[in-house]
Amino acid sequence: MGKHVLVIEDEPNIIEAISFILSRDGWTVDTHSNGHDAVDVVLSKTPDLVILDVMLPGRSGYDILTDLRERPETAGLPVLMLTARGQNKDREMAERLGASRFMTKPFSNADVLEALRELVPA
């Protein structure tokens, strides 16, 4: 049984890049691109890890992360947050809300793979 990641991101080029590198590394990749029903999608897909963009249509990644952390079934789910703004306040907010890891765009493929392997050991 492979590892399963859900990518919640609305930029097609980033979705494509992440999907490609993770599939090649043996991950099953599901993608979702809006914030409105992202929590429902996490609950229905039950991934091993979520890659969550901060800026999403509908709801922010911070709101989604807050919801995930408040639910018993997703409270311990590893979440890697992505943001285009690498400001300290963004990082602090992500950490305060319970993000497992925080990464600024643009990021390298190697960084994403390394973070996921640390968050979900084989």
What are 48-60's pLDDT values in tens digits?
A: 999 999 999 999 9
Give residue 1's pLDDT band: very low, low, confident or very high (50, 70, 90): low
Q: What is the pTM of this model?
A: 0.95
Radius of gyration of the chain (CA): 13
Instruction: Report helix, strand and coil shares of the chain as percent, to nearest 5.
Output: 45, 20, 35
Percent over 90 (pLDDT), the chain? 88
Ordered by start, the domain boundaries in the chain are 3-115
Nearest to 28, CA basis, from 46, 9, 6, 12: 6
Structure-block tokens of residue 103: 């990464």
Give residue 87's pLDDT band: very low, low, confident or very high (50, 70, 90): confident
CATH of 3-115, one of 3.30.465.10, 3.20.20.70, 1.10.287.1260, 3.40.50.2300: 3.40.50.2300
Give residue 84's pLDDT band: very low, low, confident or very high (50, 70, 90): confident
